[in-house]
Amino acid sequence: MTDPLTPTALDPASRPTVRLRPKAEARAIRHGFPWIYADELVTDRRTQALAPGTIARLEDSERRAMGTVTVNGNSKIIARMLDRDPEAVIDRAWIAARLTRALALRARLYPEPFYRLVHAEADGLPGVVIDRFGDVAVIQPNAAWAEALLPEIAAALAEVTGVTAIVKNGQGRSRTLEGLPEETLLLQGAVEGPVPVRMNGATYMADVLGGQKTGLFFDQRPNHAFAATLAKDARVLDVFAHVGGFALAALAGGAASALAVDGSAPALALAEQGAEAGGMAARFATRQGDAFEVMDALAAEGEVFDLVVCDPPAFAPAKPALEAGLRAYERVAMKAAALVAPGGYLCLCSCSHAADLASFRNASARGIGRGGRRGQILYTGSAGPDHPILPQLAESGYLKTVFFRLDG
């Protein structure tokens, strides 16, 4: 098989050519769609012999050049567009140029270096996610080409941003779909414990080596901020709290108290450290356990809260899980609604790619109704602007956050 790391694989003059089938959506690809699916590409023996991550020249069925792609025969997304220029050299300088453009946006958006620096295709680096935590960066190389060129990505990242520590987080479903192994390791520098991250007036503790995903979810930042506007003098319940995302933001916004619920003891310990760092520990409490069981227990205890937030994991990560996932979201809404004080607020979230906003909103409304409540939608949020999306990839706008005001 061809080695994707050899210089000849990166040299436009010697790289292999792959070709679209006649019925493929060539126009959509020319207009910006970044993926070629397995049934759209001619997969002869030569193409099948290409190593995952190989850089290739893409042509349409009429042999007209369309751009430079990376190929992985193990994936349903068999090719990803890297550059519309078929002669592009995919090297450290090319990567650095993409990182520089991504950094310019984030530097304009945020006064401190805590953000998603690279959001895959939308930032011109297909399958690559990079979160920045000050002088520490975490790379998720979720595509085979990024795995193969990870040393070049890391070197360009250090050069462009000046970060001193770089972590590879090789976990998650995306890597499995690409046929890549799971591993997390330190590529450069040193990380001495959790990294403090300042957002929305709160301090969060990110475990970049052993935490969930990259250690912190930057995508909910604007929704944390909106929740904080509802939280003054309120009793707040944050279910599926992870490291205290909504709870700590609510406390920073003046909440009287916040209770964080999660199944992970290490995550709740980080939330407690964040509350301590922000001077909020006296108003903050945690409760470890299964979210559904804890909500049932709180209802049995007669507890009610002015603001309840539920931000569960993806119940419908793919279409086969959609029906069961929507039922799970409905169940969350039903149990959470019972804990909202009259006239209080309920925030429900979904990070499921397969569940679109309308489906998620309808499931939430059914659950609220089953809980014997009615409400009005106040605000619908998505991921922050450090998570840009391509217009051609509507499904990449995965995060849905809906705030309701429930009846009295």
The two structure tokens encoding residue 2: 């061809």
Which position among 310, 347, 349, 351 bears the catalytic label? 351
d(Cα 396, Cα 120) in Å, to the nearest integer? 10
d(Cα 57, Cα 88) in Å, to the nearest integer? 9
d(Cα 82, Cα 86) in Å, to the nearest integer? 9
Residues 6 or more apart whose CB falls under 8 angstroms from that of 108 comprise none
d(Cα 368, Cα 352) in Å, to the nearest integer? 20
Q: Is 279 left (phi over 0), alpha (psi -120 to 50) or beta?
A: left
Q: Is 213 left (phi over 0), alpha (psi -120 to 50) or beta?
A: left
Does the annotation mark 310 as catalytic? no
For the CA atoms of 86, 90, 93, 94, the dihedral, rounded to the nearest 10 degrees, stands at 60
Nearest Cα to Cα of residue 363 among 397, 331, 395: 331
List, by residue number, the catalytic residues: 351
